[in-house]
Amino acid sequence: MQPASAAVDRTPDLANSVLLTMRQLGVIALPRNYEIFYEALSGSNPELSLEIVSMSKRPTQDELDRIGRKYFAGNHASGIVEHARETLANELEEIASIIRNERSHVEKYGRMLDQTAEGLNGRLVSKNVLQKIVEVMSVATTSTIDHGKEVVNALSDKSNELESVKSKLEEYKRLANTDPLTQIWNRRAFDREIAGIYNSNRGVLFKALILADIDRFKAINDRFGHPVGDKILQSVADILRSSVRQDMFVARTGGEEFALIVEGASEDATFEIADRIRLLIEQTPFVNSQTGLHYGSVTVSMGICMASEAEGPEDLYSKGDRALYRSKVAGRNRVTRFSTLSERAGKSWMLYRKD
């Protein structure tokens, strides 16, 4: 048997193998995907390892989620939501039971009052009897008040428990909509946000889309390695997030691609926002803080489109991407407005190379 330190020493190699394998297969860097490949490559689950080997060369997220539900059911979305549903159902039933019990207690107290009132109606009772009645009613009243306080405390506890469940669901929702590498919104959140633009006429009139793509990112990865590429992605995301208002939507939509949804700005103002970000990224030194190695200038190409120029979310994204494509073919490191394209009414266009 190997000493415990052997397992610790092996961890960095295993982690690197997980990252490399996921990149080679084009797997999205989601926490649930890391979990699958970590277990598969560690060899602790032979069946899982065999299933990973038998997958297609470019597995879809649906395939990976199916495997995740099979081997890690308790750690995946459906399991988390189902557990929360059961917890909520149980808590609500206990609350209903507390309220039913309290209603029964109050009803009994009410009947006692009614019966006492009927018994005293039109009758003369001695002072001694009246005193005993008052004592009994006093005890009953005190008991009812104390029981009411217990109910309040019990409901307060249940409220705290429900808040805990709500917090867990909110945390899961946040994780499900956050890009794990850059900690900004992910493609899932972006798709929901861009669709929401067209829920009202006001959204269409006062919103715009900015798409950004890091120039020659593949060359950066090939020259310096993926860990450096990841650091650059994180730095660009930080620049995007810190250079706009806190309420502005910023997302990583895939690979080296980012998107911003601007609200309450004209096309000229949107262009100024995009160009300011572009310049800021161009002027930011990307240097290894430990070795001092300079990774060279990092630039982005950008395209913008006003929501009013598109018929819906897919059309808006397509037109923003066409403007981005024009920035690429025109020399990169620039911002292009969709409104300036001569082929604005065109439908077919070539995809640019991600290099």
DSSP state of 179: -
Tokens of 8: 């610790």
Which amino acid makes up residue 189?
Answer: A
Q: Helix, strand, or coil here: 40? A: helix
Sequence-distant (6+) residues with CB within 8 A of 355 are 216, 217, 218, 219
Scanning the structure block, which residue is given the tokens 């960095």? 12
Which amino acid makes up residue 15?
Answer: A
Task: Choose, from 102, 193, 256, 257, the residue flagged as catalytic.
Answer: 256
Tokens of 168: 């867990």
Q: Around Cβ 167, how many Cβ atoms within 10 Å? A: 10
Q: C-alpha angle 343/326/283, rounded to 5°?
A: 150
Sequence-distant (6+) residues with CB within 8 A of 144 are 105, 106, 109
Q: Around Cβ 274, how many Cβ atoms within 10 Å? A: 25
In the residue annotation, 256 being an active-site residue is answered as yes
Largest Cα span, the chain: 106
Q: What gap in Å lies between CA 15 and CA 17, rounded to an integer?
A: 5
Q: What gap in Å lies between CA 194 and CA 190, rounded to an integer?
A: 6
- The residues carrying an active-site annotation are 256
